[in-house]
Structure 1
């Protein structure tokens, strides 16, 4: 693996895994009061566009990293939207 791929894979791993603790905390507590809805809407939208970009450019690290991030951040967003209904 060359340096470029190592950097891309490392960046994808680190940015993806960074959302795991927040997703676990949100799922366990169900508390999203301190989370910004506009930020999560923008972030999840941006991650989705990164997935499309990765697909169009056939960049597996971009696709996989953002797909997993989309699941984690999307889960948090669903909890936030659900809390707004209460």
Structure 2
């Protein structure tokens, strides 16, 4: 039976390592391929975890320079405003 690591597990582990100081602010994270090998997951799965970390403002990605832990996490406000129909 083959088990796969979900992007949520990978994201949580990366967050744990960042908050635990293994990867302090400004540090370069391993590339997707290295993380995929470490977690035994597909590169696309690691990519999804990384995209969520970018969306959450935890890391920043730049082409050719890699993924770094943001010095200060970005705070984003997301509002869900329901549409109300008035008749």
| TM-score (ref. length: structure 2) | 0.35
Larger Rg: 2
Flag the structure with higher strand content: 2
